[in-house]
Structures are given as structure tokens and as C-alpha cells.
Chains A and B, each alone.
Chain A
């Protein structure tokens, strides 16, 4: 088979798999039921490689590469699980917990949070790094929704769903590093922004950063499963 053929053969964790050209490593792994942990990836949205949890080893590359934004190549040899990867993924999670204030016990998303369940599935029982203890703003100006930046992991799902699915592009991102914030319009109050109040961002937010005020004090499961269906309908 020639290297430019539409079908690529590669190995993931020493298993031979085939893929279509242009597919991501993550796609192919999932098709083959090989688990790779992800936080910013969401079925139905484009990928941005924001969280780095999906890092994999690729033979011949000294760098670890994010599976969600790495396209398959002929003959690639991919490792999705190793001591080194586990160490990096664990550290990434610890940094997320240490950066802002993720106090699960009093969070509106407790028991329905992807960061919380990811920590558990990665075997995280404590955070070795000292917490930063920084205070971030909470914007409750919208009549139905609140953004609590203390809980934001900057996965940018809200930005993508707003731009790609709702077509409103109200959410965006500003600043860098620990000052990084998701913003509505040009950092206007959410309630005074051009938000269409569709609520898609709340449903895709993996943590308690975006929540529906009506759900405070009751379980707040998020339901991002609607995305692939919306995409299907729009392509029909």
C-alpha cells in the first residue's frame, strides 16, 4: 500500500489498526475501544488541544503529542499508556486543581464534574502542589446562567459550541497563563452581552464553571450528548 493511500495502517499499543487519512489519533483509538483520557475534546466540536490530557507517545518523536489534534500517518507506532504518560497526565490534573478553586464539596457540579471524575479515574488522592489560592470573579449578571471563573479549566468548549453550533460566537478568551479568562463579547457582563440564552455552553462545560441558576442546590448533570445529533441534522 502506498503511503498516500486513503487508508493508513498504524499500531496503537502494539495493536495493528487501520484508519482513514485525516483522522486523528484519538478518533482511531476510540473506534478501536482504546481509552485515552480527554477533557477539552467533545464529540461534535472541533478540537483545540487545550487540556493536554490526551498526550500519547509516538515512536521517533521525542515530544509527547496530543491525540485529539494529531492526524494519523502511515506506520505510526503509538503508545497511549505508560509510566511517563501517567505521570504527565497526573501532573496536568494536579495543576488544574491547584490553579483555581475547585472545592468539590460545595460545587454546584459535585458528582457531575468531569474534572472530579477524571481525578478519581487517574487515581489522584491529593494534590502535591501548593494551591494558588487566587480569587477569580463570578459573573451572575445573566438572568439564567452564571460563570464562576474559579472553576474554569479553560477547555474552551463553551467558546467552540457557541461559535460552531449556535453560530453566535459570544464566548471568547482573553489574557494568558493564570490570568486567562473566558469572556462574553468584549468582556461585557454576560447579562448585557449578545448571548442568545440557548444554554449550550452550560451543557458542555465539564465543571461547575458554567451553571444554570435554577439548578443551584440540586444535582446539575450536564448533557452534552446533543451535539452529534445537531451536527447530523445540520448536515442532512
Chain B
């Protein structure tokens, strides 16, 4: 059997899900025998490959760049996994929603800045008016809640996804777990 292509993607999240994924420790070697990590913040690839079997997406959709990225990922992925509460519910990044982009930007770059008090105009993607979970924009195949999902959850979920066996997610994890 040829190896499955795995990608991991980082949108608006704290990278905690990626950290928890790495907490698989030596079990990663077990997985490495079955998958190729073709795209990830953990590897060098710059372009999202043409077709990926499983993509683990951390983080909510908060900016125009996130939106562009998730659309691309969806178009080139067979099984898209929303990994962690930010991807699944919006979670902490979405707590800015009732406050509004303008107030948040002002707070971060003007009120709380001691030098260079100005809004950035270059190099930062434009924030969307509200932060939303991934499934508000593209179809999600598997929802893996948890903040972050535990390493055991990742192991059980990935093993099942790779083998194509049934996966009982509520038995493994929940919002805030």
C-alpha cells in the first residue's frame, strides 16, 4: 500500500493543537510508516500539494488569508479534519466577535503600544469582520473538538482515518477537553 499523504494547516489558533499532535511522541514513528507529511508548519513545503488524503486544520477562519487558504485546502483534500475547538467552534479567536475589528485593532496597535502607535498597512492580511469555524465556509468531513484534543485523541482518530475504520469522536473528546 502506498503511503497516505497527510497535511497539517495552521489558521487562527495558538498552535496548541500542533503541539498536542507532537505529544504523540514515539507513536509518531508508528504513523510515519503509514503516512507522508507533505505539507505542514513542521515541514518545508511551501505550496499545498495537488491532492492530499487527510488534512488536519487547526484554527478558526479570521482573516482573508485564512479564507483563501482553507478554500485551497478544501479543493485539494480528500478528508478535511477540523482539529481543535478554534477550527470547530471559533473558540478563543472568536471572542473578538462582539467587540469588532476596529476596536480590537486599536487596542492592539495603538492603545497598548508604547512606540509606533499606528495601524499596520503592509504585510498583515485583512481581518474578516467576524471569526468563524471552518465549516461556515467549507465542508468539513471530521470534527475533532478539544482545546487541544489530547495526543491519545489524535492517535485514535488518525489510526481510524488511515485504516478507514469507524471513529466515535464523542467517546474521545469534547468541547473544551
Contacts and interface: CB of A to CB of B under 8 A. Distances in A.
A65 interface: no
A126 B140 contact: yes
A133 B98 contact: yes
A133 B85 CA distance: 16
A102 to B, nearest CB: 8
Main secondary structure of the interface of A (DSSP, over half): loop
Contact of A101 (B95, B140, B170): B95
A133 B132 CA distance: 10
B88 to A, nearest CB: 5
B36 to A, nearest CB: 27
Given A104-B176, A135-B98, A126 B170 contact: no
B91 A105 contact: yes
B21 to A, nearest CB: 17
B94 A116 contact: no
B170 A123 contact: yes
Interface residues of A, number: 28
B92 A106 contact: yes
Interface in A17-39: none
A133 B60 CA distance: 14
Given A105-B147, A107-B176, A124 B88 contact: no
B136 A130 contact: yes
Contacts of B89: 97, 103, 126-127, 131
A124 B89 CA distance: 12
A76 B68 CA distance: 56
Contact of B147 (A104, A123, A124): A104
A125 B174 CA distance: 7
B85 A104 contact: yes
B174 A131 contact: no
Nearest to A129: B136
28 contacts: A97-B89, A101-B98, A102-B175, A103-B89, A103-B91, A103-B176, A104-B85, A104-B174, A104-B175, A105-B85, A105-B92, A106-B95, A111-B176, A113-B176, A116-B174, A116-B175, A117-B174, A120-B170, A123-B170, A125-B88, A126-B135, A126-B143, A126-B145, A131-B94, A131-B132, A133-B130, A134-B98, A135-B98
